[in-house]
C-alpha cells in the first residue's frame, strides 16, 4: 500500500482544518506526517447560515488567523424574540455576530493550512474505515490509505462515526435554509433575528433571519432549526413556521430554493473516540440548543490536536482520555450546559414560559448566556 501516513484527517471542514492547524502549532515536526482527505474541491458548497460567534474568532486569532480577510457581514444587534418581541444583544464597540459564507470561509481556512505546509488531497471520498491493532485502513474511491491514527472530521452525515461506532444512538436536528435578496425584507439590515415562536407547536428551536452576502451582494439568510427534542409530539411541517415568518416580511417561501441538512448534536454519554480514531466537529456533536457548530468544530480541533500530540509522544493511541479531556474543557462545559438548557427551554413549550423567558427574564438569560454559552474558548487547553 503506497498511501501510508501517520495522521489522516477525514474531512476538510472547520473541524478537520482546525485539528491540522493546531497540530502544526503544537508540534511543527508533525506537519509532514498529516494528510487531509476531502471529497469536494474548494471552494465547495456547505449549507450553513455562517454565523460566527466571538469564540470562533478567538480560536482563529490564537492560530494567527484574521477572519476579516474573508468576505463577511457584521451584525450590530442579535434579537432573541418570541413572536417578534424579546431580548436584544449588542456588544459595545464590536459586532454581536459575524456572518461569513461557508464556501469562502472553508476555502480560506484550507489555504491557510496549505500555506503552513499541511497537505490536503481534494476529490477523495472515504468509503470505509477499518481500525486494527497496528493502524487504520481507510478505503476511498482513490484507493486505500493506511495511517497510525485517523480523525473523523466528516460532518453530521460522515462515514467515520458510522464505521467505528455503528450502534451509538444518534441525535440530529432538522434544519432548512433559504437565501433571499436583502432589499425585500423589512427587518433592520444589519441585525440578526432568532424567533422562538414555533416552540408551542412542538418545534424545539427557532426561525432565524441573518444579513449575509453572496459574491459581495447584500442578501438575507432565513432558516428554521428544530433540535427534534419534541419529535414525539404532533408538529407542523418544518417549512410552515418559516413560511409564516417570511410572509410577515412580505416574502413568499415558495419563490425561493429551500435546502435542508441535518445537524448531529452532542450528548454527554456519546462516545467520541475508539482506539486510533478521534471524532471532531459535527461527527462528535454540535450544539443542541442553537445548532451552532463552526466555533465548536474549531474548538474540537484544538482539543483533539493536544490529545494526538501527546499520544505520539507516548506512542500509545487508545485515546481513552479524549472524552474526559473534552468534558473538562470550556468546549465540553458549554456543550453540556447547552444540552441541559435544551431539555429545559424546549420541553417547557407553553407560550407563557417562552414569553417569560425571552421578554421578562432578560437579565437572567443574559447572565446565563454570558457564563454558560459564550466565552468558553478561553478555557480550552
Ligand X SMILES: Cc1cc2nc3c(=O)[nH]c(=O)nc-3n(C[C@H](O)[C@H](O)[C@H](O)COP(=O)(O)OP(=O)(O)OC[C@H]3O[C@@H](n4cnc5c(N)ncnc54)[C@H](O)[C@@H]3O)c2cc1C
Q: Which is nearer to ligand X, 20 or 87 (CB)?
A: 20
End-to-end CA distance of the chain: 36
158 touches ligand X (CB under 6 A): yes
Grouping H, G, I as helix, E, B as strand and the rest as coil, residue 286 is strand
Q: How many residues bind ligand X (CB under 6 A)?
A: 39
Sign of CA pseudo-dihedral 120, 124, 125, 131: negative
| Residue 117 near residue 62, CB atoms below 8 Å | no
Q: Which is nearer to ligand X, 110 or 274 (CB)?
A: 110
Residue selected from 5, 7, 9, 14 as contacting ligand X according to rule CB under 6 A? 14
Q: Is the dihedral of CA 105, 111, 112, 113 positive or negative?
A: positive
**Least distance (Å) from ligand X to the CB of residue 127?**
7
Interface residue with ligand X, options 15, 131, 211, 285 (CB under 6 A) = 15
Least Å distance, CB 367 to ligand X, is: 22
Distance of alpha carbon 204 from alpha carbon 224, whole angstroms: 10
Determine the Cα–Cα distance for residues 120 and 113; give it in Å rounded to an integer: 8
Quickly count: other Cβ atoms within 10 Å of residue 321's Cβ: 13
Classify residue 201 by burial, with Cβ atoms within 10 Å: 0-12, 13-18, 19+.
middle
Q: Which is nearer to ligand X, 142 or 355 (CB)?
A: 142
Residue nearest to ligand X (CB): 293
User: What's the closest the beta carbon of residue 44 comes to ligand X, in angstroms?
Assistant: 6
Q: What's CA 87's distance to the chain center, in Å?
A: 24
* Residue 223 is a binding residue for ligand X (CB under 6 A): yes
Task: Look at residue 120 and give its three-state secondary structure.
Answer: strand
Touching ligand X, residues 286-305 (CB under 6 A): 286, 291-295, 297
> Residues 225-264 vs ligand X: string with x where CB under 6 A?
------------------------------------x-x-
24 in contact with ligand X (CB under 6 A): no
For position 152 contacting ligand X by CB under 6 A, the verdict is: no
282 is a site residue for ligand X (CB under 6 A):
yes
Closer CB to ligand X, 150 or 229, in the complex: 150
DSSP state of 40: S
Please give the Cα distance from 262 to 156 (Å, whole number).
7
Question: What is the binding site for ligand X (CB under 6 A)?
Answer: 10-16, 37-40, 46-51, 125-126, 153-155, 158-159, 175, 177, 223, 261, 263, 281-283, 286, 291-295, 297
Amino acid at each position: 500500500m503506497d498511501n501510508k501516513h501517520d495522521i489522516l484527517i477525514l474531512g476538510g471542514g472547520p473541524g478537520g482544518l482546525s485539528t491540522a492547524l493546531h497540530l502544526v502549532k503544537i508540534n511543527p515536526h508533525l506537519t509532514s506526517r498529516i494528510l487531509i482527505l476531502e471529497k469536494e474541491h474548494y471552494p465547495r458548497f456547505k449549507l450553513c447560515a455562517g454565523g460566527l460567534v466571538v469564540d470562533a474568532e478567538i480560536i482563529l486569532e490564537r492560530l494567527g488567523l484574521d477572519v476579516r480577510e474573508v468576505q463577511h457581514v457584521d451584525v450590530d444587534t442579535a434579537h432573541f424574540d418570541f413572536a417578534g418581541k424579546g431580548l436584544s444583544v449588542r456588544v459595545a464597540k464590536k459586532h454581536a455576530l459575524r456572518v461569513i459564507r461557508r464556501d469562502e470561509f472553508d476555502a480560506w481556512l484550507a489555504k491557510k493550512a496549505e500555506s503552513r505546509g499541511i497537505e490536503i488531497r481534494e476529490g477523495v471520498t472515504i468509503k470505509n474505515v477499518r481500525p486494527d491493532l497496528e493502524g487504520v485502513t481507510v478505503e476511498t474511491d482513490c484507493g486505500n490509505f493506511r495511517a497510525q491514527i485517523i480523525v473523523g472530521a466528516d460532518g453530521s452525515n460522515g462515514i467515520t462515526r458510522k464505521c467505528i461506532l455503528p450502534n451509538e444512538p444518534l441525535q440530529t436536528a432538522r434544519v432548512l435554509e433559504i437565501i433571499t435578496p436583502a432589499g425585500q425584507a423589512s427587518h433592520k439590515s444589519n441585525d440578526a433575528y432568532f424567533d422562538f415562536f414555533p416552540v408551542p407547536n412542538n418545534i424545539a428551536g427557532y426561525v432565524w433571519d441573518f444579513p449575509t452576502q453572496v459574491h459581495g451582494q447584500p442578501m438575507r439568510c432565513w432558516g428554521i432549526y428544530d433540535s427534534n427534542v419534541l419529535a414525539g409530539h404532533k408538529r407542523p411541517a418544518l417549512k410552515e413556521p418559516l413560511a409564516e415568518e417570511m410572509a410577515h416580511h412580505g416574502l413568499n417561501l415558495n419563490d425561493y430554493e429551500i435546502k435542508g441538512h441535518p445537524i448531529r448534536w452532542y450528548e454527554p454519554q456519546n462516545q467520541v473516540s475508539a482506539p486510533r480514531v478521534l471524532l471532531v466537529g459535527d461527527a462528535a456533536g454540535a450544539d443542541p440548543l442553537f445548532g451552532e457548530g463552526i466555533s465548536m468544530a474549531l474548538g474540537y480541533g484544538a482539543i483533539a490536536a493536544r490529545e494526538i500530540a501527546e499520544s505520539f509522544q507516548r506512542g500509545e493511541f487508545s485515546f481513552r482520555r479524549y472524552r474526559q479531556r473534552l468534558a473538562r474543557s470550556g468546549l465540553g462545559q458549554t456543550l453540556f450546559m447547552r444540552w441541559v438548557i435544551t431539555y429545559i427551554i424546549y420541553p417547557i413549550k407553553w407560550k407563557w414560559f417562552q414569553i417569560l423567558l425571552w421578554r421578562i427574564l432578560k437579565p437572567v438569560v443574559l447572565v446565563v448566556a454570558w457564563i454558560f454559552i459564550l466565552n468558553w474558548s478561553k478555557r480550552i487547553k
